[in-house]
Every structure is written in C-alpha cells, then in structure tokens.
Amino acid sequence: MTPFELCAVAVAGVGAGAINAVVGSGTLITFPTLVAFGVPPVSATMSNAVGLVAGGVSGTWGYRRELEGQWPQLRWQLPASLFGALLGCWLLLHLPETVFEAIVPVLLVGALILVVAQPRIQRWVFARTGLRRGERLPLTTGRIAAMVAATFAVGVYGGYFTAAQGILLIGALGVIVPDNLQRMNAAKNLLSLVVNIVAALAYTIVAFDRIDWTAAALIAAGSLLGGVLGARYGRRLSPAALRATIVVVGLIGLWRLLA
C-alpha cells in the first residue's frame, strides 16, 4: 500500500474504534477500506479482526464505571460469549460465507426494531412487574436462560461475522434484561471484546500467513485511540441520542451489507 493508503487505513481504524465503543459495526468501516486498497477479502476479514481487538480494550476500559454492579449477569454472559465465539469460528472454517450472508440483514433489521421499541417495551415490562424506573428486574431462571441463549447466539454470529454484533446484543438485552442504555453499552463492549479476542486468536493460529500484519497494526493503533475517544464522548450522550446513533449506524451498515 502507498503512504496515503496506509494513513487512510489508520484513520479508518480510529473511526471503527470510536463507533465500536459507542454502537458497534466499526468493521463496516475498516473492512471495505482494506478491500478498496487491494487486500483480498478473506485476508481483510482476518486482519481487521486482529486489529480491532485493541479498540475493544480501550472502549471497554472507557466504560468501566458503567460495568460496576453488572457481575451477577456478566458471570453468565461471559462464558456464553466465549463458547459462542468458538462455535462461530469453527463454522467460519466449515461453512460457506453465503449461509450467514443470507440471514445477517434479517438479524440486523430485527435488532434495530428492538432498539427503537425498547422504551415502549421497557415501560410495558415495568408496568407488568410493578418496578419503578432505576430498579432492575430480578434475574429469574427463565430470564437467565434467555439472556445466556441470546448472548451465545450473538457470540456465534460474532465469531463468524463480526459486523453489527454490538447492535444485536443491545437489541436483545434491552428486552430480556432492561437497564440504562449506557450500562447495556458497557456490557456490550466487554462481551464483544471477548468474541473479538477469540476470533483474532483463531485467525492467528489457523491462518497466520494470510493476515496482513501491516494493516492489522495500523488498525490496532487507530482503533486504540478511537476506542478512547468513543468511550469519552459516547458516555456523555443521552439515551435518546445514543439510541438514534445506534439506529443511524445500523441503517448504514444494513445498506452496506445489502450493497
């Protein structure tokens, strides 16, 4: 790549890191950039996954305060994300890409609908349970099972095709375990990081020579900075502004996927 292209990849990494910290779907910036500059699609997928781990670390660290008090559910979700990602990586090595390409747009549309409808759904849930705003629903056996199943399913998806997994997580968790949107975003960052680490390790072990390590390093440096910026400014967004950002980025991602 030329010096201009190398700079463009690093800038794309900054944007991806920031978007991943606030919403998810940063892959939809870096992956097309690599392909546009001549990196083969498979190599671009692997290089991108390795590079964006750094942004996941900085974004998760930036939201560490919002993670406080979430261990009762995260202790169930973290293993679900881990094993889901392992299965997703296995599927990547054994199934044609067209299998998931067919359902990705449907999943993304469903997640966006859930994100938009979450305030109304949460009002209905609180009315049914008698809880007040700020209180959390008890983690019943049924709710834990649904939460683990949803987290595992998104982990499988993320291990196979990382783009937009954050939107899927927020969409599902906002219905199963309603909470403050910023707190759900913090949990999403941590769970997505687990999935991305598994995917990056799998690619490194299985296809080390197919990774463009220059591109991966540039994306890592850029996304590390982007994750810091995204966490700093994303945490200041109101729930309505954050929800609007998620929907806008999700629609752009849907358009890119369909195109």
Total number of domains in the chain: 1
Q: Rounded to 5 degrees, what angle do the CA atoms 22, 46, 204 make?
A: 115
pLDDT at 134 over 60: no
Radius of gyration of the chain (CA): 18
Each residue's pLDDT tens digit, 69-120: 888 889 999 999 999 999 988 887 777 767 666 766 776 677 677 667 767 7
Mapping DSSP to helix (H, G, I), strand (E, B) and coil, where does residue 60 land? helix
DSSP symbol at 237: S
The dihedral over CA atoms of 211, 215, 217, 223, expressed in degrees to the nearest 10, equals -120
Q: What is the pLDDT of residue 48?
A: 87
Each residue's pLDDT tens digit, 14-28: 988 988 888 777 777
From 19, 53, 55, 15, select the one nearest 237 (Cα to Cα).
19
Mapping DSSP to helix (H, G, I), strand (E, B) and coil, where does residue 168 land? helix
Give the separation between CA 222 and CA 195, rounded to whole angstroms: 20
Residue 161's domain comprises 3-258
Name the pTM for this structure: 0.81
Each residue's pLDDT tens digit, 149-165: 999 999 988 887 766 78
Amino acid type, 194: V
